[in-house]
């Protein structure tokens, strides 16, 4: 007898509460194996392929591509074959009316016997080893489900429910007095916030399911109608006051609705996470910025000599970013005040023992900050190799949430965009960020004579709560000295 299990969006870790469906990897009717990826979702941290802990046939999917789902919302349902030896004890239609306590125990044992994976992602999966079970042929799925009695209880995660196909599929059309065909709580909340009556909407999803796109379309229509009404109401007044002046478009109505034709771009995914973090940084952190120009000619010469080495001293190519990162770790060892965070509730400055160095990387999905763990224990070659590895993962969208969090100091090389300087926003909850502009030939006084040298502008934005300007200036001056005279680093090697 077929058993239909509901798989919910798991806890993806790092405090994430929702994810957007980017691409479905399976269709309804497909046969999936245990731990097979079934959907690709985008969180505020990274793109993640979500594997299903059950093996069987997909009977339903919840949510279209582009839909945001909260953690715990249904993703799909899977029909699996009954475990061996379960046929003799299969529940009859009358058994579905058993007491809650007995049904709860049965669901627990059913979850164990139905089989599932363990350590797939944070927050879901069964701890028990997978039990042996019959393989179910796809062509027998419909008959197996049809023969199973219908239970009045809703489908719950990892709970065996006797053929609840009618429960997990929405009705063919919304009924005025019946339930509204909406799966996502986010869609309901969005409609409630904009006073949209879901009973008046015709869903564009399967079987009339109302999607977020349907609600967004209704919101845009309401906004355009409101804007048109506002223009029509204001036109007579303008014509009486200035008959010869053509009416201008309404920029915004009193309730903040933008003018007709304005494009609305949702702040979600990576862009939403960046917006939240930068806003929080500006709100909570009293930052200040200092900067200095440095002659990077000697640093560039040292890098060229490293990369040109042959024989036993040869090694992987070292990037400028790797050398600057190594300089940062040396500077933080001298000025540990900047490798810190502020505990606002306890009103304490927390100085951190290790340096986890973040570096800003621009990708097609937006700005991300991968973190080099234990950078203070690495040399320039090791840091460079880790930066290259994380950069490649960032470009392909395969960074895990753990690789994007936990930084204690950030290095921002905005010089790759062809700019000289910037006042970067601190990556909350860190206490400082070093910005590096482009390295380019400029006139420079060198050894008492005017010469063309490779000059770079360095800027340090710091949290004024953790230190004063003297400490920040000392840190930045030490970094500049190392850039101008790399031999200074020999003291700390």
Q: Which of 356, 428, 446, 464 is the catalytic position?
A: 464
Report the alpha-carbon distance of residue 43 to residue 122 in Å, rounded: 14
- CA neighbor of 272 nearest in space, from 32, 17, 6, 44: 44
Report the alpha-carbon distance of residue 252 to residue 260 in Å, rounded: 9
Residue 461 CB partners (closer than 8 Å, separation 6+): 287, 288, 289, 423, 424, 425, 426, 432, 433, 435
Q: DSSP 3-state assignment of 310?
A: coil
CB–CB of 49/57 below 8 Å? no
Count other C-beta atoms under 10 Å from residue 387's C-beta.
Answer: 21
Supply 452's token pair. Answer: 């063309």
Supply 243's token pair. Answer: 């008959």
Q: DSSP 3-state assignment of 435?
A: strand
- CA neighbor of 331 nearest in space, from 476, 486, 456: 476
CA dihedral 193, 196, 202, 203 (to 10 degrees): 0
End-to-end, the C-alpha distance of the chain in Å comes to: 68
Catalytic annotation on 446?
no
Count of CA atoms in the C-beta half-sphere (13 A) of 393: 22
- CA neighbor of 259 nearest in space, from 282, 295, 229: 229
Q: 156-195: buried (b, 16+ CB within 10 Å) or exposed (e) per residue?
A: eebbbbbbbbebbbbeeebeeeeebbbbbebbbebbeeee
CA distances from 116 to 12, 55, 112, 426, 441 (A): 18, 8, 8, 43, 62
Its sign, for the CA torsion 198, 203, 205, 206, is positive
Catalytic residues: 464
């Amino acid at each position: 007898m077929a058993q239909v299990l509901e798989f919910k969006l798991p806890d993806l870790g790092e405090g994430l509460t929702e994810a957007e469906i980017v691409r479905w990897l399976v269709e309804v009717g497909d046969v999936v194996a245990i731990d097979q990826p079934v959907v690709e979702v985008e969180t505020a941290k990274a793109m993640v392929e979500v594997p299903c802990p059950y093996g069987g046939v997909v009977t339903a999917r919840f949510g279209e591509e582009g839909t945001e789902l909260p953690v715990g919302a249904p993703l799909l349902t899977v029909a699996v074959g009954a475990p061996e030896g379960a046929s003799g004890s299969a529940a009859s239609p009358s058994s579905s009316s058993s007491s809650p306590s007995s049904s709860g125990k049965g669901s627990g044992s059913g979850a164990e016997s139905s089989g599932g994976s363990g350590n797939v992602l944070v927050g879901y999966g069964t701890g028990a080893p997978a039990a042996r079970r019959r393989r179910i042929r796809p062509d027998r799925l419909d008959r197996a489900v049809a023969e199973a009695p219908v239970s009045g209880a809703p489908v719950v995660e990892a709970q065996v429910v006797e053929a609840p196909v009618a429960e997990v599929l929405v009705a063919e059309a919304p009924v005025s007095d019946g339930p509204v065909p909406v799966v996502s709580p986010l869609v309901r909340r969005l409609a409630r916030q904009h006073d949209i009556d879901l009973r008046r909407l015709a869903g564009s999803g399967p079987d009339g399911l109302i999607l977020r796109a349907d609600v967004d379309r209704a919101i845009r229509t309401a906004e355009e109608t409101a804007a048109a009404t506002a223009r029509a109401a204001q036109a007579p007044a303008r014509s009486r006051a200035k008959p010869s002046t053509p009416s201008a478009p309404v920029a915004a109505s009193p309730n903040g609705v933008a003018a007709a034709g304005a494009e609305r771009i949702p702040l979600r995914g990576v862009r939403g996470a960046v917006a939240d973090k930068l806003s929080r940084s500006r709100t909570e952190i009293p930052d200040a910025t200092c900067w200095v120009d440095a002659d990077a000619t000697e640093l560039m010469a040292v890098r060229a000599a490293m990369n040109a080495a042959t024989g036993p001293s040869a090694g992987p190519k070292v990037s400028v970013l790797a050398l600057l990162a190594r300089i940062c770790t040396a500077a933080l060892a001298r000025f540990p005040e900047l490798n810190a965070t502020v505990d606002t509730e306890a009103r304490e400055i927390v100085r951190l023992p290790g340096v986890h160095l973040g570096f800003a990387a621009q990708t097609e999905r937006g700005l991300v900050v991968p973190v080099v763990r234990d950078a203070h224990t690495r040399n320039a070659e090791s840091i460079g190799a880790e930066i290259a590895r994380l950069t490649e993962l960032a470009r392909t969208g395969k960074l895990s949430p753990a690789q994007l969090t936990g930084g204690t100091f950030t290095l921002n090389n905005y010089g790759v965009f062809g700019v000289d300087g910037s006042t970067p926003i601190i990556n909350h909850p860190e206490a400082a960020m070093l910005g590096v502009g482009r390295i380019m030939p400029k006139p420079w006084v060198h050894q008492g004579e005017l010469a063309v040298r490779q000059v770079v502008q360095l800027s340090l934005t710091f949290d004024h709560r953790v230190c004063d300007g003297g400490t920040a200036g000392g840190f930045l001056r030490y970094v500049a000295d190392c850039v101008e005279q790399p031999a200074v680093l020999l003291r700390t090697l």
